[in-house]
Every structure is written in structure tokens, then in C-alpha cells.
Structure 1
Amino acid sequence: MRIAIEAQRIFRTNKHGMDFVALESIRELQKLDHENEYYIFVSPGEDHCLEETGNVHIIEVACPTYPLWEQVALPRAVAKVNADLLHCTSNTAPIHCPIPLVLTLHDIIFLEPRQSGNKSLYQNIGWYYRRLVVPRILPRCKKIITVSHFERARILEALSLPEDLVTTVYNGFGQHFYPREKTEQVTRKYIQDKNFLFFLGNTDPKKNVPRVLKAYELYRQKSSSPLPLLIADMKDEYLDAIMKEQAIEHIRPYVINPGYIPNSDLPYLYSGAFIFLYPSLRESFGIPLLEAMACGTPVITSNTSSMPEIGGDNVIQADPFHAEDIANKLIELENDPKLYKSQLEYGLQRCKLYSWKNTAESLLSIYKTL
């Protein structure tokens, strides 16, 4: 087969969730499959993180905007290689596709009521673009892949699709996520304290930043030796505005915000953190949950959406809509060494259920059926 895969953003320097899913899946397909021909379509960027092999060809397609890239430039480029199918990896695809289409639909958050106002222009444009494009491409899909049974059920319910059209393929996590020693050589670039709480956030309302900050303020009141909070991938003005709104500016000296943290440094930060906070309002999978577990760090996550499914029955779950519950779970884990050790050991075992190798094997099986 001649398989085309859209991986538009994998060469950008500051990658995020869907970028890593595409990149790691392709890397494993490279190792697994030496028979079929692969054509990987990317936008030019500085981080050439994927190399060609004998049957894997990288084709850079330049275009000024993402909609034009996907709707005009990509179909033209795919037609030139005479591909048998096109796999689009990031929720959307060309409305007019000349060959069978496989779509990875990570979530349908864009079809659900919005959690609250989002001030990010980039995220708002993406939200409207997905609402416009996805309903138009679904009838053309030969297979729709999503990343958890929770999300599959939501997709089937919301879009009234045939059950055999939508399948679950779990994500994995990078092999460089494992417990690290001598973490301070990396963590000191971001935080001077040896022990800290760690939270990955952004301006997307689903990340629940206001309640995490309120929970941290409550935690500082209850803890006998409160730890500082390291927040990645946030802007100071956004944090300051939330703290002012909630009248918790007094915690600002204890909240460290270094901005974007490269993926290569994350294993050291997970390993160095005392607890990883992941109380999102809504996730379709939750790769950071597995990354932290793989690094031997206990996790506090949410009792909503996919997180109980991915984290398993024994992961510590809090109600993400109640800051008090998040704070209480922090105190409980901090004050109970036996619970802390059991969570560390549980996470190291739980994460073994997931790998990018499993993801690639599932993808290859789907390609063959088409």
C-alpha cells in the first residue's frame, strides 16, 4: 500500500499533545512496517524530528495558513504520490479528498458547550474551524479513530455514527519517560526548590487553572510544610489575572511559571516533583497522566471523562469542579507515606499497559482492513 499521513505540525519547535501522538506513532510504524510505502506530509519547521527511511518519505508542503494547507495544498500533494489512503491525525481533514480517508478524531470538545470564555485567539479560531469542517468530512471517512472508550461513546452519541465506523486506539508515552536520578541538574533551570508540586496547564478552560490555583491556596492553609507550585506553559499575565479575580494574590511568590518546557526536560521535572496535578475538567485521553506515572510520581487527577479509564481504578481522583476536594487529596497524599508509596508503585505498573508500539500495531491493522 501507499499510505499518506498528515503530520502538519510535527516540525514546529513547541509541540503539543496531538503533535506528539502523530510523531511517536509514525516513528513506531517506521520500526514495525518495512513493506508498505509511507508519505508523511508536514509543514516546514525548525525541528526536523523525523528522518526518512527506505519506505518512509517526508514531504514538506509550504502554505501560509493551516486551513489553506489542509484544504488546498495537502490534497494536491497527496494526489501527486498516488496514495491508496490518507490518514489525517489531528481532528480535521480535507473536505474534498480524492482517496479513502482515515481520521483521528481526538475529541469532540468543539461540539460541546464551552466551559468558560477563552481569550486565546489561536484556540478560538481552531474551535470554529473544527465546527465547520468535521461534520462535512465524517460522511467521507472509511474509519474514525479516537483515543479512549469514553471519547468513542461521546462521538457515537453526539454524531449518530455507525458503531463499526469508530474505533478506539489508545495513545502511549515516550520511552524517555522513566524515573530519573540527579534531577536537580535540569529542574534548577525552572525552580530552585528541591521539592515541589507540578502542574501542566494552558489557557484552555478545560485545564482548570482557576480551580487548581484556588486548590493550591487552600492546600497552603492546611499543610504544615507547603511546597511551591511549578506551572508549565502559562503566561504571567494570565496567572496574575486569575489570582486577582479570586483574591489569592498572596500565593504568587510560591507559584513558579517558567513558560514552555521542552519535552526532553519533562522526565526530570516529573521525577523531581513530589506530586503531579492533573485535575482537568475534560480530557479525551491524558498523556501527561501516564508520563508522570512512568517517572514514579504520584498523580492527582479528575473523576471525569477519560481520566478514570486511563488512570485506572486505583489512581487518586478528585472532583475537578471543587477546589476543596483537590486540596484535600493533596493533603492526604502529603500526610500518608504508605499511600504515597502505593501510588508511586501503582503508577509504575499501570503505565505499562500503554505504548506507542501498541498504537502503531493498531494503526497498521486498520490500514490493512482498508
Structure 2
Amino acid sequence: MKIAYDAKRFFHNTSGLGNYSRDLVRILSRYFPENEYLLLNKNKSERGADILERAGVRFVETSKGQMSRQFKMGKDAQRTGADIFHGLSGELPLRWDQKPIKKALTIHDLIFVRYPQYYSFFDRKIHFWKFRKAAGSADRIIAISEQTKRDIVQFLKVPESRVEVIYQGCHQAFKEQQSDGFIAETKEKFRLPERFILNVGTIEERKNLLNVVRALKDTGIPLVVVGKKTKYFKKVERFIQQNKIEVQFLEGVSMDELAVLYKLAEIFIYPSFFEGFGIPVIEALFSGTVVITSNTSCLPEAGGPDSMYIDPGNPLDIAAKIKFLWENKAERKRRADKGFSFVQKFSDEPIARQLMDFYEKIIS
């Protein structure tokens, strides 16, 4: 089987869609090396270079020019003789020639529909048009959670039979044990507190960091935050300064260093109002760290039965759950151990097999 991918995110996104794209090709090429995996883009980068070295994985330079991804990439894929073209980020090319090729699509979320206030009018319209057009032309669609599947059926009017839920995993670094020396170096580099709770994710309104710092007021519990700052950061920063809360914001954190941060944290907290899936929850569980997350959207799917759930709009509820786990080592360990068992369903091999079954259904 020859599968062509829109590899823009694979080469040029550092997180989110980029991690999904790289992990998908990585695990498929590992467990099904007999296939060809073609990464189509106008150019490549050092990102994902180790995956490109694998047998069966190769870069295909596509036509250049404005809007070439929309109007030429599909025909470029057909010229390679690919059996399937897979759009990894909710989009498919708009133009194709007569040569047969099956079309697969991954949709991560429809947050721009559910939370329009976080997007400009223009972005909402463009996103919705592109997603609906791609969903209409795809032979089959991957939703990364049951929540996303429900949204695809409801908002894009796609028959449920054409949508399959295949969860995503996470980077291999979170499944490995870093050396004692590297752990010590990371602690020293970032001058980490002896005990802390961790939050990972873009510092934006939807991710709800402000309610975490509100919950930490007067507790003396240190918080470490890893994430890109947006305008919302100023609001969070003001509250921290006014209330003298111990918060450390880290930047330039490598994947291996992030894996150490998860392992060192007493608690990982992820109070987002809405997610397509919530990969940081999976990363924390693979790291053996107890999770507090929201009782909304898909987050209980990612967190499983032994994570602790909060109302993300209620700082008092968040504070009570943090204090309970912070003060109860045995309960932290019990939930972390159960969470580690639960998260094995998001391991590479079962996900790779589900993806290959998905492709085989398209071909057949």
C-alpha cells in the first residue's frame, strides 16, 4: 500500500498537529514497514528527519506557487501512484485529476464552532468552509475522540458510518525513563521547586490557567507552567503579581526536558474548557503522574476513571481537589498507578493497527 500525506504540519509545526503527524508516520513505519509512506510538501525541515531515514518513508517535493497545497498537491499525490491521500489536519486538496485515489481525513476538533468567541469572524468562516468541504469529499474520516466524532456528525452533517474514532498517542520521550544525571541537570537548569504542580499548554483563555492561579491563592503551592504566551498571559500575570502566587513560566523546553518535568511534578493540572482530545493528559499519565482535569468535552476519555475531575469554571472546586491530592501521597500514587495502566490503550502498537485497519477499509 502506498499512502501520501499532506506533510506541511509534519515538517513545520512544533507541537499539536505536528506531533500528531510525526507520531502517525513514525508508528506506521515501525509496525507496517512493508508499505510506502510519502510526505508531500514544498520543502522539508530538520523536524522529523529521523523518521525520514526509515525504509519506506520518503519526502516528495510538491509543486510550488501560491495555493499549491490546495490546487496541486492532490494531483502530485496521484502522480506518485498513491493508493490513499491522507489529510492530517482537517483539510484536503481541492483539485484532483481522473486517476483513482482514495481520500482519508483526520479532524482534531471543531472548537471554532463550539467556542466562536476565540476566533475572528473571518477565521471561523474559512475554517468551517474548509472542514466541511474536506469532510464531504473524504471516503472516511478519523476523529481523535468520541467528542470530536459527535461534533463532526452534528456540525458537518457527516453520516456517523463514515467517521471512526482513533485516539492518538504521544511522543516516545514520555514513555522512557531519563537518566538520573539528565533529571538532575533539568532540575538545575530550570531551578525547579522541590515540590510543584505542572501545567502544560498554550497560555490562552480556553486553556483556563487563570482559574488555576485563582485556586492557588493563599495555598503556598508552587506552579510550573510550560506553554506559549498569548495576550491572555497579561491577565494571568496581573493576578499572580497582585496575589503573590509562586508561579514559574518556562520556555525553550525540549521534549526530553518536558518528560522530566512531568515525572518530577506532584500533580499535573489541565483545566481546559474544551479540547479535541488533550494530549498533555496522556503525556502525564504515561509519566506516572496523577492528573486533575476538566469534566468537560473529551477530557474524561483521555484521563480515564482514576484521574480527578473538576468544574473548570469553579476555582473553589479546583482548589479543593489540588489540596486533597497535594496532602495525600498515598492517594496520588494510587491514582497515578491506575492511570498508568489505563493509558496503555494509547500505546503505539494498538494505534498503528487501528490506523492500518482504517486504511484497509478504505481500499476494500
TM-score (norm 1): 0.87
Q: CA deviation at 1:159?
A: 2.4
- Residue 170 of structure 2 is matched in structure 1 by 173
Q: CA deviation at 1:62?
A: 7.6
Deviations 1:136-172 (A, max 9, x none): 2222110010111222122212222212100000111
Q: How does 1:76-155 map to 2 (within 5 A)?
A: 76-98=75-97, 99-114=101-116, 116-117=117-118, 127-155=124-152
- Residue 20 of structure 2 is matched in structure 1 by 21
Deviations 1:14-70 (A, max 9, x none): 6112211111111111122233322112442232242243422222448587xx253
Mark the CA change 1:366 to 1:87 in structure 2 (over 3 Å): closer, same or farther. Answer: same
Mark the CA change 1:127 to 1:186 in structure 2 (over 3 Å): closer, same or farther. Answer: farther
> Which residue of 330, 334, 340 corresponds with 1:338?
330
**Structure 1: runs of 5 or more not aligned:** none
Does the CA-based 8 Å contact 2:294-2:300 persist in structure 1? yes
Does the CA-based 8 Å contact 1:95-1:133 persist in structure 2? no
- Residue 194 of structure 1 is matched in structure 2 by 194
Mark the CA change 1:111 to 1:334 in structure 2 (over 3 Å): closer, same or farther. Answer: same
The 3-state SS of whatever aligns with 2:255 is coil
Mark the CA change 1:64 to 1:269 in structure 2 (over 3 Å): closer, same or farther. Answer: farther
- Residue 264 of structure 1 is matched in structure 2 by 256
User: Higher mean Cα deviation, 293-302 or 44-53?
Assistant: 44-53
Deviations 1:158-189 (A, max 9, x none): 22221210000011123321455632321332
Q: CA RMSD in A?
A: 2.5
| Residue identity (%) | 28
- Residue 311 of structure 2 is matched in structure 1 by 319
Q: Which amino acid is 2:282 matched to?
A: L
Q: Does 1:160 align with 2:157?
A: yes
- Residue 51 of structure 1 is matched in structure 2 by 52
The 3-state SS of whatever aligns with 2:172 is coil
Q: How does 1:197-208 map to 2 (within 5 A)?
A: 197-208=197-208
Deviations 1:283-324 (A, max 9, x none): 121121111111111110110111112211221000111122
Q: Which amino acid is 1:100 matched to?
A: K
Q: Distance in 2 between matches of 1:4 and 1:161?
A: 23
Does the CA-based 8 Å contact 1:85-1:102 persist in structure 2? yes
Deviations 1:266-299 (A, max 9, x none): 1100011111111111112112111111111111
The count of corresponding residues between Structure 1 and Structure 2 is: 354
Does the CA-based 8 Å contact 1:207-1:280 persist in structure 2? yes
The 3-state SS of whatever aligns with 1:188 is helix
Q: Distance in 1 between matches of 2:32 and 2:189?
A: 40
Does the CA-based 8 Å contact 2:4-2:38 persist in structure 1? yes
Mark the CA change 1:104 to 1:4 in structure 2 (over 3 Å): closer, same or farther. Answer: same
The 3-state SS of whatever aligns with 1:153 is helix
Mark the CA change 1:266 to 1:243 in structure 2 (over 3 Å): closer, same or farther. Answer: closer
Q: Distance in 1 between matches of 2:135 and 2:118?
A: 28
The 3-state SS of whatever aligns with 1:301 is strand
Mark the CA change 1:11 to 1:74 in structure 2 (over 3 Å): closer, same or farther. Answer: same
Q: Which amino acid is 1:144 matched to?
A: I
- Residue 230 of structure 1 is matched in structure 2 by 224
Q: Which amino acid is 1:31 matched to?
A: R
Q: Which amino acid is 2:283 matched to?
A: E
Q: Distance in 1 between matches of 2:71 and 2:157?
A: 29
Q: CA deviation at 1:127?
A: 4.9
The 3-state SS of whatever aligns with 1:285 is coil
Mark the CA change 1:103 to 1:236 in structure 2 (over 3 Å): closer, same or farther. Answer: closer
**Structure 2: runs of 5 or more not aligned:** none
Q: Distance in 2 between matches of 1:84 and 1:36?
A: 11
Does the CA-based 8 Å contact 2:216-2:245 persist in structure 1? no
Q: CA deviation at 1:248?
A: 4.4
TM-score (norm 2): 0.88
